[in-house]
Amino acid sequence: MSRLDGKRALVTGGTRGIGRGIAEGLAAAGATVGVNHPPGEAAAADAVVESIERDGGDAVAFEADVSDADDVSEMIDAFESMLGPIDVLVNNAGILTQSPLAEMPVEMWDETMAVDLRGVFLTTRFALPGMLEAGNGSIVNVASQLGLEGGEELVHYSAAKGGVIAMTRALAREVAPTVRVNAIAPGPVRTELLDDISEEWRDAKEAELPMDRLGTVNDVVPTAVFLASDESSYYTGQTLSPDGGDVMH
């Protein structure tokens, strides 16, 4: 029996990078996975679903802009109608841009907060009632080590991810013991998201890391599978950090 047999999981931002890796990892562990994608990325979501199915797993694509309340509400309703109550929610969808705060367009700040923090709230808000009614659930929020230590020219992203970590701790207290809420704070990981950050920043960060390399998606996925599974049944309100030693806490 696999670790997540019979579980139903929804992964936001599941078409690429860490989100895709987690979706595939949960499916390999036995979960039926909903792969969320924003408007315009249906083909990418279908590719993830096909990849999971080729490996013998079950997956369904769900479209929603996680910053839009109506979109998210409709996605949760569609998931529950098609697959049943959500057992595992992975809030992964996020964007990453770079700018000194003194030059940052207000729109850049607002967009980051809308996707990286509001999106976590909205998806959790609409998924949580079903979890509470079912009497169980695991929420895994993908934050960042920058939510713990901050980063130059990434004040907006750091603030949003710090908010995700604070929300994780507060909600964990609110819904325990019925639903567990934990976060993952990865270090810099080689994905498309990091392509929007300057090479100089990436090189400087790599040089700082005790493990002497940037992370990979495969460095993060096992933590998500662990937090989704009953193996972590005594974990809640925690932030686990596959970050190469960037933040030691």
234: annotated active-site residue = no
Candidate list 62, 79, 109, 157, residue with the active-site label: 157
DSSP string across the chain: --TTTT-EEEETTTTSHHHHHHHHHHHHTT-EEEEEE-TT-HHHHHHHHHHHHHTT-EEEEEE--TT-HHHHHHHHHHHHHHH-S-SEEEE---------GGG--HHHHHHHHIIIIIHHHHHHHHHHHHHHHHT--EEEEE--THHHH--TT-HHHHHHHHHHHHHHHHHHHHHTTTSEEEEE----B-SGGGGGS-HHHHHHHHHH-TTSS-B-HHHHHHHHHHHHSGGGTT--S-EE--STTSS--
Q: Which residues are catalytic?
A: 157
